[in-house]
């Protein structure tokens, strides 16, 4: 180590060139780093989708879902299996442990599914496996409106805007919701069909046969060839109207005799509105490896070009762009880091009172950051909220090593050494100490790398970033700092510089050192009192956690100035009825002065991309508040909740949006597991009332849905077989008549439109209309559908959810405030008190509460391992098993600062704060290392222990205060929690600030006492061993 330091001091130009090379490498790396909101995480989830047309939820559950669950759960590393069985489809999701090779798991799942295919029903489609990818979620959501109406907006969006944006590099797909689609409708008359004894299927076959372009071969004429093509496609709607239908009896009638032909629009299954104006909602998904910010910038350019081209024909409404949040959040974190760095530099100048000295130490910050950018790039990481947060958290610590090096070089110069000797000798003296202190700050992150769960996966990049920056700062302190010190302080530095930082010139610091020496002297003479005082503070540090004074939650909530309202009416509610309720709420929200943008989706569940069409009873509204409002988001949500109240039969859930967060769903999610659906329903109703009794719960809902009204057409197989009619023929006839079937397409003005055939609206209202239908027999005749079909009205479950191969119903709730841990505990106590759970049934918490419990358990183990690793590093440095225990006494001393800083500021103890506690174990020992290291140095020079303690304390006071203040003030901007994305790091910064500040003051007084006691204990053990060895020797003699 000493040779390396000497080389750097004697070869300054070489060091400067290396710094220049690293700087260029760092800047190039920085320019190529991708910007994202969070680290790129592969979620260990695979979903299997299987369609089985016509089957009900219970049939799907028994015939498809259960065999699929068995197959998927048997694959190694699959820890949970969840499924949903609904009409005509099955979805089974397998969740694996993080770190699992999902490509290999996907292959194994495919093999297991192939083994059970033979027991799946004959009509079931091939199961489709899909790995969950966060890029499936939209990064951009825009609303598009048009002065000419929703139909024109749909046409322009579908034909021009969608195609243009899909060509933007990095855009994977563009999907549309809420528009009107033009189509040519052939609306059949039941009366006419019955009069002519024909079925809708007969008309479909006729239309397809009339609308054809087919090749006819090749004609050879001499040396020439001509391709033959028969052109019979419809050229206009008039061509369609002029079609003649040849009846089974040979008669010919015009199509218009039995059908009205209209150029119209497909029946809307969804409505989309922005501030009350009909619109098309457009969602853009990016490719999985694309840069979100760069893709968004290109999309913005394309939209600007489209706006210029289309002028007043179209208007874009920006609803959501993830890049906005990324840019604002990263900009805010960068700003906080720069401000923190500036505060750290000001602290240095306050203590050093020298521009040169301040510059020497401060140079560690930019060089370390530049090296860190290069390390991030070569580690295949991105610049995101977590990695930049790690850099901001460590910015104040980047000068710690440089401070210690500079301080010892000053001391050497004061003793009369020349510049080169002071730089090499001083740096060599503390090289091992600062290496150990840096390693203690790095090794504490090693256990985090092995923790499972989404939160731990995200914070791994923070751990790596902090480690890179601290490692870089150590290299800078051992190479660049001594080189600069030897040059910038080489001439006229001795007495002049030292006078500037001397206690005589720095009067206040001198008085502080004198005051500290008196306290330390008293403490050394009253060890029992001081130990009792430290123990009391330790207990006081635990009490806020035990008595719930510190709020707990899973992850930080990223406030977006946006809230959402999810509405669910009883199954079977028409789209129009749902829309009536939505419009009432929508108009109320638009009228609020705080509302900037209100967008509504009717006929789809919550979420931009997860809501499926055809859910006529569901709707969602999102409200973006104005940037400057007197009312906070919490106040607005509470006000809207009071204004809306409750509607009979409606489930209304109001919640703050959390676009920037990585926890989703309701804060409280409780699963009821068991075999019987009716029992689950009853338990869910009981549990709802229990949860409502807890005052802090809001919008308590059950996932149980009463069955959708269903009219079953049961095929009489013997009769159907006698007429030569298959069940598929019956199903397709009914589908064509009531749902409509695309019979063919027609090209008009270069654009292709569907030709939809169905009964006219007046003939498809009820069961009686179905019974009027005729079916075509195998012989070409026709019979009434009632000849081969029996009708039955019934209800059944709309969908059946299962978890780990057991049926499940969920009860969910929003919460008032953010103390998830306390509220969860209250609900658990209420459940034990008020509910009796039958055998074979279970009530378990899932969602955020479960994630929090698992994450805290894993991080608690990580904390224990981190403490052990810190001890190992210190023991290796000192080659001593006792003195490291004295140094580690600073860890419990920080607990009081941790708990009381959280309690007094109202911050949440979440995963971020827990990571801060783990970081703290590696940071707080650094001051103790510096102090104990110098005590040992003085004792090696001949001082007795008490004299060494009283000399080392005041001597090391300045570097200890400097390193603490630079770290703390460097974190203050993050701790204030101001700006977008600040929530991610605010609790972590608060924990480190509180813990380090309090621990530092106790370290300066308590650690020397612990050192003395353990040193006496070590001497007693040595004497005891020596005495026993002597007795043993006498015995053998």
For residues 785 and 926, state if they share a domain.
no
Domain-located, residue 689: no
Domain-located, residue 863: no
Enclosing domain of residue 458: 1-32+353-502
Q: What is the CATH number for 522? A: 1.20.1640.10
Q: What is the CATH number for 609? A: 3.30.70.1430
Structure confidence at residue 1031 (pLDDT): 53
Domain-located, residue 695: no
Domain-located, residue 449: yes
Domain-located, residue 856: no
Cα-based torsion angle of the residue sequence 652, 658, 661, 663 in order, rounded to the nearest 10 degrees: 0
For residues 578 and 536, state if they share a domain.
no
Domain-located, residue 664: no
Structure confidence at residue 47 (pLDDT): 92
For residues 408 and 429, state if they share a domain.
yes
Beta strands at 908-909 and 551-552: parallel, antiparallel or unpaired: parallel
Scanning the structure block, which residue is given the tokens 């999810």? 566
For residues 164 and 279, state if they share a domain.
yes
Describe the crossing of helices 66-73 and 102-116 by its angle, rounded to 10 degrees: 140
Provide the b/e sequence for 496-517 (b: ≥16 CB within 10 Å). Answer: ebbeebeeeebeebeebbeebe
Which of 796, 826, 845 delimits the end of a domain? 796
Token readout for 581 is 């309720």
Structure confidence at residue 493 (pLDDT): 44
Using alpha carbons, list the distances in angstroms from residue 976 to 490, 599, 661, 984, 1011.
Answer: 42, 33, 19, 12, 36
Which of 796, 817, 846 delimits the end of a domain? 796
Count: domains in the chain: 6
For residues 717 and 640, state if they share a domain.
no
For residues 511 and 497, state if they share a domain.
no
Which of 796, 829, 846 delimits the end of a domain? 796
List the chain residues with pLDDT less than 50. 490-505, 608-613, 1033-1037
For residues 473 and 586, state if they share a domain.
no
Q: Which run of H or E residues covers position 267?
A: none
Instruction: Convert the pLDDT of each residue in 380-432 to its tens digit.
Output: 888 888 888 888 877 878 888 888 888 888 778 877 788 888 888 888 888 88
For residues 280 and 299, state if they share a domain.
yes
Structure confidence at residue 312 (pLDDT): 84
Q: What is the CATH number for 756? A: 3.30.2090.10
Cα–Cα dist 798/810, whole Å: 15
Tell me how far apart the terminal alpha carbons of the chain are, to the nearest angstrom: 49
For residues 522 and 379, state if they share a domain.
no
Phi then psi dihedrals of residue 846, to 5 deg: -135, -165
Q: What is the CATH number for 277? A: 3.30.70.1320
Structure confidence at residue 661 (pLDDT): 58
Instruction: Convert the pLDDT of each residue in 866-911 to its tens digit.
Output: 999 999 988 888 788 888 888 888 899 899 999 999 999 888 898 8
For residues 1012 and 923, state if they share a domain.
yes
For residues 569 and 474, state if they share a domain.
no
Domain-located, residue 220: no
List the Cα angle 577/583/585 in 5-degree steps.
Answer: 110
Token readout for 333 is 């974190």
Token readout for 60 is 């799907």
**Full-model pTM:** 0.80
Report CA 923 to chain centroid distance, whole Å. 28
For residues 363 and 485, state if they share a domain.
yes
Q: Which run of H or E residues covers position 84?
A: strand 78-86
Domain-located, residue 397: yes
865: number of Cβ within 10 Å: 18
Beta strands at 315-321 and 562-568: parallel, antiparallel or unpaired: unpaired
Q: Is 584 exposed, middle or buried (0-12, 13-18, 19+ CB in 10 A)?
A: exposed
Which residues lie below 8 Å from residue 474, measured CB to CB, with a gap of 6+? 401, 434, 435, 438
| Sign of the torsion angle spanned by Cα atoms 974, 977, 978, 979 | positive
């Amino acid at each position: 180590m000493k040779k390396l330091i000497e080389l750097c001091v004697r070869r300054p130009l070489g060091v400067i060139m290396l710094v220049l090379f690293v700087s260029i490498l760092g800047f190039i790396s920085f320019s190529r780093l991708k910007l994202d909101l969070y680290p790129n995480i592969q979620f260990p989830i695979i979903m299997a989708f299987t369609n089985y047309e016509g089957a009900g939820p219970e049939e799907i559950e028994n015939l498809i879902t259960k065999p699929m669950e068995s197959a998927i759960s048997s694959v190694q590393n699959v820890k949970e299996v969840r499924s949903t069985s609904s009409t005509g489809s099955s979805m089974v999701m397998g969740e694996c442990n993080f770190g699992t090779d999902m490509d290999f798991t996907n292959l194994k799942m495919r093999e297991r599914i192939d083994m059970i295919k033979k027991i799946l029903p004959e009509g079931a489609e091939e199961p489709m496996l899909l790995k969950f990818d966060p890029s499936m979620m939209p990064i951009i959501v825009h609303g598009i409106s048009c002065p000419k109406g929703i139909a024109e907006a749909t046409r322009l969006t579908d034909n021009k805007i969608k195609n243009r944006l899909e060509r933007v590099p990095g855009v994977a797909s563009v999907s549309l919701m809420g528009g009107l689609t033009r189509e040519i409708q052939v609306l059949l008359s039941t009366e006419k069909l019955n009069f002519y004894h024909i079925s809708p299927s007969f008309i479909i076959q006729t239309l397809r046969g009339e609308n054809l372009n087919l090749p006819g071969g090749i004609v050879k004429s001499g040396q020439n060839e001509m391709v033959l093509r028969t052109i019979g496609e419809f050229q206009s709607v008039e061509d369609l109207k002029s079609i003649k239908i040849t009846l089974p009896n040979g008669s010919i009638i015009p199509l218009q005799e039995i059908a009205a032909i209209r150029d119209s629009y497909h029946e809307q299954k969804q409505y989309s509105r922005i501030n009350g104006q009909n619109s098309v909602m457009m969602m853009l998904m990016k490719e999985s490896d694309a840069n979100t910010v760069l893709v968004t910038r290109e999309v913005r350019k394309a939209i600007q070009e489209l706006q210029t081209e289309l002028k007043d024909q179209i208007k874009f409404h920006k609803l959501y762009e993830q890049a906005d949040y990324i840019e604002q959040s990263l900009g805010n974190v960068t700003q906080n880091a720069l401000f923190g760095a500036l505060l750290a530099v000001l602290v240095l100048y306050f203590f050093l009172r020298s521009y040169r000295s301040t510059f020497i130490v401060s140079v560690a910050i930019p060089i370390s950051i530049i090296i860190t950018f290069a390390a991030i790039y070569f580690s295949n990481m991105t610049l995101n909220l977590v990695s930049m947060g790690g850099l901001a958290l460590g910015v104040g610590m980047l000068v710690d090593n440089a401070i210690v090096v500079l301080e010892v070089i000053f001391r050497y110069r004061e003793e009369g050494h020349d510049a080169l000797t002071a730089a090499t000798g001083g740096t060599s003296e503390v090289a091992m100490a600062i290496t150990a202190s840096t390693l203690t700050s790095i090794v504490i992150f090693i256990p985090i790398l092995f923790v499972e769960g989404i939160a731990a996966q995200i914070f791994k990049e923070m751990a790596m970033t902090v480690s890179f920056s601290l490692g870089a700062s150590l290299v800078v302190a051992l190479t660049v700092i001594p080189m600069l010190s030897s040059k910038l302080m080489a001439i006229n530095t001795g007495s002049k510089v030292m006078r500037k930082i001397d206690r005589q010139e720095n009067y206040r610091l001198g008085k502080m050192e004198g005051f500290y020496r008196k306290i330390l002297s008293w403490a050394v003479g009253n060890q029992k009192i001081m130990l009792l005082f430290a123990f009391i503070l330790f207990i006081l540090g635990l009490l806020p956690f035990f008595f719930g004074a510190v709020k707990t939650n899973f992850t930080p909530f990223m406030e977006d100035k946006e809230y959402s309202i999810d509405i669910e009416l009883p199954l079977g509610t028409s789209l129009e009825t749902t829309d009536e309720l939505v419009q009432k709420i929508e108009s109320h929200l638009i009228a609020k002065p705080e509302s900037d943008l209100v967008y509504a989706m009717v006929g789809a569940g919550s979420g931009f991309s997860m809501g499926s069409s055809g859910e006529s009873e569901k709707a969602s509204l999102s409200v973006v508040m104005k940037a400057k409002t007197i009312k906070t988001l919490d106040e607005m949500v509470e006000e809207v909740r009071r204004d809306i109240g409750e509607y009979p039969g409606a489930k209304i859930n109001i919640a703050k949006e959390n676009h920037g967060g990585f926890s989703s769903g309701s804060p409280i999610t409780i699963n009821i597991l068991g075999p019987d659906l009716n029992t689950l329903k009853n338990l869910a109703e009981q549990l709802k009332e229990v949860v409502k009794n807890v005052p802090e719960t809001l919008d308590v809902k059950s996932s149980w849905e009463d069955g959708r009204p269903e009219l079953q057409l049961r095929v009489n197989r013997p009769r159907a077989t006698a007429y030569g009619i298959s069940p598929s023929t019956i199903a397709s006839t009914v589908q064509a008549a009531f749902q409509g079937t695309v019979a063919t397409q027609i090209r008009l003005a270069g654009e292709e439109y569907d030709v939809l055939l169905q009964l006219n609206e007046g003939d498809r209202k009820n069961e009686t209309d179905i019974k009027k239908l005729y079916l075509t027999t195998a012989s070409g005749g026709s019979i009434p559908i009632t000849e081969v079909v029996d009708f039955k009205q019934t209800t059944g479950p709309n969908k059946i959810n299962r978890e780990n191969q057991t049926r499940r119903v969920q009860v969910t709730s929003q919460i008032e405030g953010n103390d998830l841990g306390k509220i969860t505990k209250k609900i658990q106590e209420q459940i034990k008190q008020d509910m009796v759970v039958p055998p074979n049934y279970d009530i378990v918490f899932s969602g955020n509460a479960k994630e929090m419990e698992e994450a805290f358990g894993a991080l608690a183990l990580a904390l224990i391992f981190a403490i052990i690793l810190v001890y190992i590093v210190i023991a290796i440095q000192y080659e001593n098993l006792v003195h490291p225990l004295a140094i580690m006494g600073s860890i419990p001393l920080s607990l009081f600062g941790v708990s009381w800083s959280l309690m007094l500021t109202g911050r949440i103890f979440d995963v971020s704060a827990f990571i801060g506690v783990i970081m703290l174990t590696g940071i707080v020992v650094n001051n103790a290392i510096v102090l104990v290291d110098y005590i040992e140095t003085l004792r090696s020079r001949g001082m007795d222990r008490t004299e060494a303690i009283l000399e080392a304390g005041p001597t090391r006071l300045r570097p200890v205060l400097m390193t603490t203040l630079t770290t703390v003030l460097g974190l203050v901007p993050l701790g204030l929690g101001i700006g977008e994305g600040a929530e991610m790091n605010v609790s972590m910064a608060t924990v480190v600030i509180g813990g380090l500040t309090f621990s530092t003051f106790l370290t300066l007084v308590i650690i020397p006492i612990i050192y003395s006691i353990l040193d006496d204990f070590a001497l007693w053990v040595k004497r005891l061993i020596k005495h026993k060895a002597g007795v043993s020797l006498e015995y053998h003699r």
